[in-house]
């Protein structure tokens, strides 16, 4: 792979879950998971892969995903061993799905290595069709397994099922006399009249795609790779076109062009000598021209060898694309799996696209366009546990306010009392006096919670603002049994106030009072603080700060799978994975930009090619957002200098400029600890104006 896909690889994924898990009691759930974990750990196939560091287990709540590498048999062997071990009536009912496909390693919000990708998603969708005891296989995985005599008699064609986003999944059932479930799953539409394990049945179980194979004739190993791909594509039920199928003559060129333009996918076999072919150049140009007009066909370049691509028309078209690599016959299997993974899961429009919403500002809690990230689950659980302080950190337009809106919804459904203080709404006069500021906070909170408090008699200046605020809050908490959740948004504005350290010290004291005053009301108070700037730059005494005792929840950009999911909610204006990858390379999952771009495509304001080309223009689709970024960067000379140094490939020693750019969302910390631009779009735009 090239570009941002270097970490992508093939995994053979076994997805397992416990049927009926959500209906079990908490203790029964724990016992079921313990039993499943023990059985998996006892599997010889799993133990062998674990010893070779060739398996990555991922917990999923009600089960797990096991990602095996290097061994195509491992997931099937593990599934059989698990199935045979779970033979007691007291054992949890389990269903399983297996698929081979691309996955990619990335860091999650907690800094742990995670894995995402089509391989995992499809394995889960395959499993979802099963009932208790089923071991279901995707057509792609079944095709490989059927090539071995030991497995062929155990694999049976089921037919097609329709999964999320109207994805048609072709399914096979793996079972024998002492493992699996021989019954047809209740969610499967069987293939009428198809004989089990017959070639016709295999073809019927696959959603055919029209695939054109492009190559230069009489070159090796190009033709060998061509025939390998042709054989596997046909075996999987795809309709394959190669130009040697048409007799060269007057109508030959027109027929070749027509078949390329009507293809769903074009696989171009490219070697250094092939790139000198004018015919191959014409064919790839034709595919590129058609893709620019209709987003089809997908162009899947297969690079032969390790040499760099030669400059020219073919190189210019292929270089930005996701490239597949073949170096020797050992790559045959890997290459076929990768290409089938790209072809077999096209992105399809949703049957009923959601009504579009304006993009900008907080996303309503019930919006179909709200994307749940890893941090959402942790935030929801921390609220449920009524932890004392939750710190929601994220750069500008990363979704902090939207996450807080999810929290207010949760509090409302739970029957708790809750209030929201948006510090961005306070003007400078309201924050000039500590006494006035605290009294305003208390009065606003009292109004939201419909709590009557006599400020004339109870708020006594002799005690000072801090003690008055604490007395007010104590009485508020004592006034009812329900917990109180206090959401504070845009807290950065408070950092520069002269009394900021005193206020945050007071919040910290409420956390401490849970321990020092166990009979007090403080266990009923949860404070949620949303901010963007590094707090330690402004808080004088970190030992009196809530920022080093609260639960830290940091918002990250969308990953590529979340972008695919959101694309489906917009009616899939990105119609193939190559476009998704280019889209993701431009915006890197920045939440606001991602929504803005998908909305722009869904409403027809831009087509995909124009969006990519005009993205950094001052009159382009992101012009208002980018102009604000430029203004933010240009305010201070040190910040401008920092950006210019980054554009020149150098680093700056100004920590203040670094943190300002971090808070504004222009940059982020790379995996190596060095700052990088948040996305390609920002780098392109700032280079245009500051270099």
366 within domain boundaries: no
Q: What is the 3-state secondary structure (H, E, C) of 561-618?
A: HHHHHHHHHCCCCCCCHHHHHHHHHHHCCCHHHHHHHHHHHHCCCCCHHHHHHHCCCC
At 202 the pLDDT is 36
650 vs 16 pLDDT, higher one:
16
Question: Residue 72 carries which DSSP code?
Answer: T
Mark whether 501 and 626 lie in a shared domain.
no
356 within domain boundaries: no
**Most confident residue range from 15-29, 169-183, 503-517, 525-539:** 503-517
**Across residues 90-114, what is the average pLDDT?**
76
Mark whether 580 and 514 lie in a shared domain.
no
Domain edge (last residue) among 324, 344, 364 = 344
Query: Which residue range is the domain that position 22 belongs to?
Result: 3-204
Task: CATH number of the domain at 241, please.
Answer: 3.40.50.10140
Give me the helices (H) in 262-312, please.
278-294
Cα distances (angstroms) measured from residue 247 to each of 244, 252, 255, 270, 435: 7, 6, 10, 23, 90
21 within domain boundaries: yes
d(CA 143, CA 136): 13
Copy the structure tokens of residue 220: 């090796």
Mark whether 178 and 225 lie in a shared domain.
no
Mark whether 470 and 581 lie in a shared domain.
no
Domain edge (last residue) among 139, 173, 204 = 204
pLDDT band at 526 (very low <50, low <70, confident <90, very high): very high
Domain edge (last residue) among 167, 187, 204 = 204
Q: Which position has the token pair 């062009």?
A: 257
362 within domain boundaries: no
At 502 the pLDDT is 87
170 within domain boundaries: yes
Q: Which position has the token pair 């003690």?
A: 467
Task: CATH number of the domain at 393, please.
Answer: 3.40.50.300
Mark whether 277 and 251 lie in a shared domain.
yes
* Closest alpha carbon to 307 in 325, 331, 283: 325
Copy the structure tokens of residue 364: 């309503």
Percent helix, strand and coil across the chain, each to the nearest 5: 45, 20, 35
pTM over 0.75: no
Mark whether 435 and 505 lie in a shared domain.
yes
**Across residues 354-378, what is the average pLDDT?**
85
566 within domain boundaries: no
Mark whether 452 and 584 lie in a shared domain.
no
Tell me the percentage of the chain whose pLDDT exceeds 70. Answer: 88
358 within domain boundaries: no
Mark whether 157 and 225 lie in a shared domain.
no
d(CA 642, CA 363): 33
Q: Are 402 and 363 in contact (CB under 8 A)?
A: yes
Cα distances (angstroms) measured from residue 153 to each of 141, 145, 150, 157, 202: 15, 10, 7, 11, 14
Mark whether 234 and 331 lie in a shared domain.
yes
Does 251 score more than 70 pLDDT?
Answer: no
Cβ count within 10 A of residue 669? 11
pLDDT band at 150 (very low <50, low <70, confident <90, very high): confident
Mark whether 243 and 286 lie in a shared domain.
yes
The full length of the chain comes to 691
Mean residue pLDDT across the chain? 84
560 within domain boundaries: no
51-65, 85-99, 354-368, 484-498: which range is least confident on average? 354-368
At 107 the pLDDT is 52
Residues 6+ apart with CB under 8 A from 436: 430
Which residues, listed in sequence order, are joined to residue 156 by a DSSP beta bridge?
A: 173
At 318 the pLDDT is 79
Copy the structure tokens of residue 156: 């049976």
Mark whether 511 and 529 lie in a shared domain.
yes
Copy the structure tokens of residue 509: 């004291």
Mark whether 413 and 339 lie in a shared domain.
no
- 175-223 pLDDT, tens digit per residue, is 888 899 888 888 774 433 333 333 333 333 346 788 999 998 888 999 9
Task: CATH number of the domain at 145, please.
Answer: 3.30.70.1230
The total of structural domains in the chain comes to: 4
Residues 6+ apart with CB under 8 A from 320: 3, 582
d(CA 34, CA 27): 11
């Amino acid at each position: 792979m090239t570009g941002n896909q270097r970490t992508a690889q093939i995994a053979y994924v076994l997805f397992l879950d416990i049927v009926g898990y959500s209906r079990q009691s908490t203790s029964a759930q724990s016992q079921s998971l313990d039993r499943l974990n023990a059985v998996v750990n006892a599997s010889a196939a799993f133990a062998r892969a674990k010893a070779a560091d060739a398996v990555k287990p991922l917990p999923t709540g009600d089960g797990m995903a096991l990602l095996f590498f290097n061994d195509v048999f491992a997931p099937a062997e593990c599934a059989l061993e698990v199935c045979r071990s779970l033979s007691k009536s007291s054992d949890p009912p389990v269903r399983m799905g297996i698929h081979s496909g691309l996955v990619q390693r990335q860091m999650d919000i907690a800094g742990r290595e995670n894995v995402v990708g089509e391989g995992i998603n499809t394995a889960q969708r395959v499993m979802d069709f099963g009932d208790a005891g089923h071991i279901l296989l995707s057509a792609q995985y079944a095709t490989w397994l059927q090539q071995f005599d030991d497995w062929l008699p155990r694999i049976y064609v089921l037919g097609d099922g329709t999964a999320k986003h109207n994805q048609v999944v072709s399914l096979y059932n793996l079972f024998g006399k002492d493992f699996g479930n021989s019954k047809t799953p209740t969610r499967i539409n069987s293939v009428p009249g198809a004989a089990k394990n017959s070639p016709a049945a295999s073809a019927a179980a696959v959603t055919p795609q029209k695939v054109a194979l492009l190559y230069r004739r009489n070159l090796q190993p190009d033709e060998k790779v061509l025939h390998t791909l042709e054989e596997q594509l046909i075996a999987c039920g795809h309709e394959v076109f190669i130009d040697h199928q048409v007799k060269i003559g007057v109508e030959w060129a027109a027929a070749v062009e027509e078949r390329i333009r009507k293809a769903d996918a074009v696989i171009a076999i490219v070697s250094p000598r092939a790139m000198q072919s004018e015919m191959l150049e014409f064919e790839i140009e034709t595919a590129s021209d058609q893709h620019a007009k209709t987003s089809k066909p997908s162009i899947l370049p297969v690079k032969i060898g390790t040499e760099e691509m030669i400059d020219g028309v073919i190189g210019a078209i292929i270089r930005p694309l996701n490239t597949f690599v073949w170096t020797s016959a050992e790559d045959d299997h890997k290459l076929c799996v990768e290409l089938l993974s790209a072809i077999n899961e096209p992105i399809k429009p949703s049957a009923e696209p959601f009504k579009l919403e304006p993009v900008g500002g907080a996303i309503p809690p019930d919006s179909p366009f709200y994307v749940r990230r890893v941090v959402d689950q942790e935030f929801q659980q921390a609220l449920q546990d009524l932890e004392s302080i939750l710190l929601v950190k994220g750069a500008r337009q990363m979704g902090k306010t939207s996450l807080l809106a999810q929290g207010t919804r949760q509090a409302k459904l739970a029957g708790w009392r809750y209030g929201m203080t948006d510090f961005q709404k306070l003007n400078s006069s309201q924050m000039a006096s500590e006494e006035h500021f605290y009294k305003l906070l208390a009065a606003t909170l009292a109004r939201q919670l419909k709590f009557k408090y006599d400020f004339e008699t109870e708020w006594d200046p002799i005690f000072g603002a801090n003690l008055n605020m604490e007395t007010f809050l104590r009485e508020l908490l004592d006034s009812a049994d329900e917990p109180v959740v206090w959401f504070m948004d845009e807290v950065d504005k408070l950092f520069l106030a002269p009394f900021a350290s005193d206020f945050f010290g007071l919040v910290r004291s409420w956390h401490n009072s849970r321990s020092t005053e166990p009979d007090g009301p403080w266990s009923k108070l949860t404070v949620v603080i949303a901010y963007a700037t590094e707090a330690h730059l402004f808080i004088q005494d970190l030992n009196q700060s809530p920022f080093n005792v609260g639960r830290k929840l940091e918002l990250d950009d969308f990953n590529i799978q979340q972008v695919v999911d959101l694309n489906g909610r917009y009616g899939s204006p990105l119609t193939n994975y190559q476009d998704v990858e280019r889209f993701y390379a431009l915006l890197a999952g920045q939440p606001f930009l991602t929504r803005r771009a998908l909305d722009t495509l869904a409403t027809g304001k831009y087509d995909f090619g124009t969006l990519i080309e005009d993205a950094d223009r001052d009159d382009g689709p992101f012009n208002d957002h980018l102009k604000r970024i430029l203004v933010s960067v240009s305010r201070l000379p040190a910040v401008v200098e920092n950006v210019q140094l980054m554009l020149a490939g150098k680093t700056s020693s100004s920590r203040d400029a670094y943190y300002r750019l971090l808070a504004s969302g222009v940059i982020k910390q790379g995996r190596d600890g060095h700052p990088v631009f948040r996305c390609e779009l920002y780098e392109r735009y700032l280079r245009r104006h500051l270099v």
